[in-house]
């Protein structure tokens, strides 16, 4: 790449930028062509021909793709409470580095995000970044599973999703009321589907591998039973439910049949459940410990097929930073979760794209579907629209080095993996980041 771009290695104002020579792809408006884009004070202009607006920073993006900004629907920022693992600022930097212009963050901080003031506080911390932070608020006060939060106050603050993620909403009565009430407000419940009694004490998939390794298992039905409960509650109330991080074949089947019946059930899948299986746990490397756990090959295949056919609507990371001290404990005591923001795009381009999945479908799963589910505006690469863009170098070959992550935490199972395709930068909210790797 050539051109005057190095000052955009940190987010700078997208005051006057000419993005030159990239393949610009926005399937929603049937756009796929090489065209120059001018970003002026954060607003997009499509330039015909080779004219250069006066004073513009010209960025030569031949060989690159520009798509509408990618969105990660499931992220854990650890602020407030565990700033040693991640802050809102470092989470935004990780998101930018990974090519995301928007994220939705979960409320299981300490204290949990369970009122409008805490939601507004989180959003305020993300000012000055080309990343929108959409807060998913807690379903119950303190995430204690008892009393519903003040949903109308929180929806008024712009929130469209509620979750007690980290765990399920244990009481079916509370879940039912949460779905009914959020539905009235045009919002949606995001359920971490897990029957805590069935999962009790488990720290990997219940399988031949858990038996061999002598590790307590979490059966697939611990997830699928809660998915079935959510489907029934959605059907009974007419309300919308989103199933987080689906990992099991039985869950996929429940979701598929719910969709066939026209229910308002949506779901998401994470890269690790599409690429890894429980056999990886045999090294006792805690970077293979997450919840829901890595499953067997049958489950992995079922998730992949459901991801392809749209039964699983969204590709997201469940980015779960943990400090080195926490994550290097023994397998059975280490916390669940891995970081994902800085590897998701590379994994998708390397392992999904043109291996059964088209770019149009992939963009649906990471650009359009997450925003539809959160009832957010869909970015469009059209004249006069706000510039909300992800710039991708599809040919760049690189190796994942967790030490170079912008995230404060490095707990990934993908360290050392070779990738083809990397985020060159993001533009959003009037700011641009363009990396000089």
Size of the site for Zn ion (CB under 5 A): 2
Q: Which is nearer to Zn ion, 287 or 361 (CB)?
A: 287
The two three-digit tokens of residue 192, written as one number: 């971490």
Cβ 275 to Zn ion, closest distance in Å? 18
Task: Judge contact between 203 and 335, C-beta under 8 A.
Answer: no
Annotation says 318 is catalytic = yes
Task: Judge contact between 410 and 111, C-beta under 8 A.
Answer: no
Q: What angle, 0 to 180 degrees and rounded to 10, lies between the N-to-C axes of helices 88-97 and 116-125?
A: 50
Contacting residues for 30 by C-beta, under 8 A, at least 6 apart:
none
Q: What is the DSSP string of 159-202?
A: --EE--TTS----HHHHHHHHHHHHHTT-EEEE----HHHHTT-
Q: Out of 318, 326, 364, 393, which one is annotated catalytic? A: 318
Cβ 244 to Zn ion, closest distance in Å? 5
**Contact region with Zn ion (CB under 5 A), list: 117-125, 188-196, 197-205, 335-343:** 188-196
Site for Zn ion in 71-100 (CB under 5 A): none
Residue closest to Zn ion (Cβ): 192
Task: Judge contact between 218 and 205, C-beta under 8 A.
Answer: yes
Does the protein bind Zn ion through residue 38 (CB under 5 A)?
Answer: no
Closest C-alpha to 100, from 429, 427, 430 = 427
**Contact region with Zn ion (CB under 5 A), list: 2-10, 178-186, 187-195, 309-317:** 187-195
Q: Which is nearer to Zn ion, 102 or 292 (CB)?
A: 292
**Contact region with Zn ion (CB under 5 A), list: 11-19, 114-122, 190-198, 360-368:** 190-198
Q: Which is nearer to Zn ion, 17 or 105 (CB)?
A: 105
Q: Which is nearer to Zn ion, 327 or 422 (CB)?
A: 327
How many angstroms separate the CA atoms of 149 and 113, rounded? Answer: 10
How crowded is the C-beta side of 345, counted as CA atoms within 13 Å? 33
Cα separation values, 48 from 52, 198, 290, 384, 423, Å: 10, 60, 49, 14, 26
Cβ 119 to Zn ion, closest distance in Å? 19
How many angstroms separate the CA atoms of 206 and 199, rounded? Answer: 9
Mask for 139-178, x = binds Zn ion (CB under 5 A): --------------------------x-------------
Cβ 137 to Zn ion, closest distance in Å? 15
Contacting residues for 435 by C-beta, under 8 A, at least 6 apart:
9, 97, 423, 424, 425
Cβ 218 to Zn ion, closest distance in Å? 13
How many angstroms separate the CA atoms of 142 and 46, rounded? Answer: 48
Total count of residues recorded for the chain: 437
SS3 52: coil
Mask for 248-267, x = binds Zn ion (CB under 5 A): --------------------
Q: Which is nearer to Zn ion, 82 or 192 (CB)?
A: 192
How many angstroms separate the CA atoms of 147 and 135, rounded? Answer: 20
Cβ 245 to Zn ion, closest distance in Å? 6
How many angstroms separate the CA atoms of 127 and 226, rounded? Answer: 37
Cβ 318 to Zn ion, closest distance in Å? 6
Q: Which is nearer to Zn ion, 223 or 393 (CB)?
A: 223
Q: Which is nearer to Zn ion, 76 or 176 (CB)?
A: 76
Cβ 192 to Zn ion, closest distance in Å? 4
Q: Which is nearer to Zn ion, 26 or 165 (CB)?
A: 165
Does the protein bind Zn ion through residue 192 (CB under 5 A)?
Answer: yes
Cα separation values, 40 from 12, 244, 386, Å: 13, 38, 10
Task: Please give the residue ranges that form the binding site for Zn ion (CB under 5 A).
Answer: 165, 192
Residues that are catalytic: 318
């Amino acid at each position: 790449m050539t051109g005057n771009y190095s000052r955009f290695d940190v987010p700078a104002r997208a005051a006057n930028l000419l993005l030159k020579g990239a393949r610009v792809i926005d399937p929603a408006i049937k756009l796929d062509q090489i065209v120059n884009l001018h970003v002026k004070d954060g607003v997009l202009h499509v330039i015909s021909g080779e004219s250069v607006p006066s004073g513009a920073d010209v960025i030569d993006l031949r060989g690159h793709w520009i798509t509408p900004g990618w969105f990660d629907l499931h992220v854990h920022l650890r602020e407030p409470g565990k700033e040693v693992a991640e802050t809102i600022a470092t989470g935004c930097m990780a998101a930018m580095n990974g090519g995301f212009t928007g994220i939705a963050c979960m409320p299981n901080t300490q204290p949990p995000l369970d009122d409008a003031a805490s939601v507004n506080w989180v959003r305020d911390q993300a000012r000055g970044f080309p990343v929108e932070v959409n807060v998913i608020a807690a379903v119950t006060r303190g995430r204690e599973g008892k009393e519903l939060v003040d949903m109308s106050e929180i929806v008024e603050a712009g929130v469209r999703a509620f979750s007690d993620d980290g765990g399920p909403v244990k009481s079916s009565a509370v879940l039912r009321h949460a779905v009914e009430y959020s539905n009235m407000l045009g919002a949606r419940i995001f359920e971490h589907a897990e029957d805590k009694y069935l999962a009790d004490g488990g720290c990997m998939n219940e399988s031949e591998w858990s038996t061999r390794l002598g590790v307590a298992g979490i059966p697939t039905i611990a997830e699928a039973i809660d998915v079935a409960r959510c489907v029934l509650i959605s059907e009974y109330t007419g309300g919308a439910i989103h199933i987080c991080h689906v990992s099991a074949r039985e869950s996929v089947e429940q979701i598929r049949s719910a969709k066939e019946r026209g229910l308002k059930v949506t779901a998401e899948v994470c890269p690790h459940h599409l690429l890894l299986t429980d056999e990886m746990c045999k090294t006792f490397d805690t970077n293979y410990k997450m919840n829901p756990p890595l499953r067997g090959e049958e489950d992995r295949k079922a998730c992949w097929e459901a991801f392809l056919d749209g039964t699983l609507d969204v590709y997201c990371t469940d980015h779960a930073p943990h400090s080195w001290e926490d994550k290097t404990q023994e397998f059975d005591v280490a916390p669940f979760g891995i970081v994902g923001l800085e590897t998701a795009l590379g994994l998708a381009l390397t392992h999904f794209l043109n291996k059964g999945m088209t770019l149009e479908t992939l963009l649906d799963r990471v650009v359009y579907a997450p925003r539809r589910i959160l009832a957010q505006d869909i970015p469009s690469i059209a004249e006069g629209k706000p510039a909300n863009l992800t710039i991708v170098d599809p040919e760049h070959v690189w190796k994942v080095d967790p030490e170079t992550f912008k995230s404060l935490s490095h707990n990934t199972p993908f360290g050392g993996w070779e990738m083809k395709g990397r985020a060159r930068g993001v533009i959003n909210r009037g700011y641009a980041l363009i990396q000089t790797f």
